[in-house]
């Protein structure tokens, strides 16, 4: 009985999600709100059970231990982030947001350089040509986001011709990449749809004593 109820609820939610095919509607938004709410609640429970509660136990057992003192900085930043809900002292949370954005940007930059650009630049052997092409395409993509130029007589910033050419190449690379991502997303979505339809058909046939080929 419980399994039947779960399958019916899942089927209804699946229909609500795919109702977006006929346009944005309240049923689709209800399903999305449920998804976001359940995901946020699950993440909060996991964070409390796997991180916050063990940390509180460690701190209460030996607050002066060197390993526990390392948690002092992130705990303070987290508490400051909660102050964003209090308008008079909301500005104190800017330090936490700044640290989060700064560390995230630094990690992403280092990861892009050491994990992508450097391996592509030093790739050798049979894959040297492919690595070189990928490195050039990566540089073109990065140059697309270069906005420096010179002001003309009208005060408008104009890019040099060579820079516009490289930016055009970067735009082409981004277009191809987004098209490939969209095609992959569409293929994955269709695969999920087929899997869901097969699952519900199989479940319905099991109830009636039949089976899928």
DSSP 14-28: HHHHHGGGG---HHH
For the whole model, what pTM was predicted?
0.56
Residue 175 has a pLDDT of 93
> Average pLDDT for residues 66-81, to the nearest whole number?
79
Mean pLDDT, the chain, as a whole number? Answer: 81
Q: Residue 164's pLDDT is what?
A: 79
Helices (H) and strands (E) in the chain, counts: 9, 2
Predicted confidence at residue 126, as pLDDT, reads 54
Average pLDDT over residues 47-62: 83
User: Which range is least confidently modeled, 97-101, 142-146, 156-160?
Assistant: 156-160
- Whether 136 contacts 130, CB under 8 Å: no
pLDDT tens for 113-128 read 887 777 766 765 556 7
Q: How far is CA 95 from CA 45, 71, 82, 88, 208, in A?
A: 26, 17, 12, 15, 62
pLDDT of residue 90: 82
- The predicted model gives 90-112 an average pLDDT of 86
Q: Which residues contact 99 (CB under 8 A, 6 or more apart)?
A: 77
pLDDT at 155: 67
**Does residue 1 or residue 18 have the better pLDDT?**
18
């Amino acid at each position: 009985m419980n399994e039947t109820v779960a399958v019916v609820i899942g089927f209804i939610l699946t229909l609500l999600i795919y109702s977006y095919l006929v346009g944005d509607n309240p049923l689709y938004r209800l399903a999305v709100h449920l998804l976001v709410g359940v995901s946020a609640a699950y993440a909060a429970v996991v964070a409390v059970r796997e991180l916050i509660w063990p940390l509180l136990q460690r701190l209460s057992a030996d607050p002066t231990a060197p390993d526990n003192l390392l948690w002092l900085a992130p705990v303070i930043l987290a508490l400051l982030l909660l102050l964003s809900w209090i308008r008079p002292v909301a500005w104190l949370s800017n330090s936490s947001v700044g640290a989060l954005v700064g560390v995230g940007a630094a990690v992403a930059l280092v990861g892009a350089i050491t994990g992508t650009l450097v391996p592509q630049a030093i790739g050798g052997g049979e894959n040297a040509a492919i690595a070189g092409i990928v490195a050039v395409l990566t540089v073109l993509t990065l140059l697309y986001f270069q906005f420096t130029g010179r002001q003309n007589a009208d005060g408008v910033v104009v890019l040099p011709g060579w820079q516009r050419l490289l930016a055009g190449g970067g735009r082409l690379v981004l277009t191809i990449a987004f098209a490939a991502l969209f095609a992959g997303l569409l293929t994955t979505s269709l695969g999920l749809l087929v899997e869901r339809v097969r699952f519900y058909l199989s479940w319905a046939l099991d109830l009636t004593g039949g089976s899928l080929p």
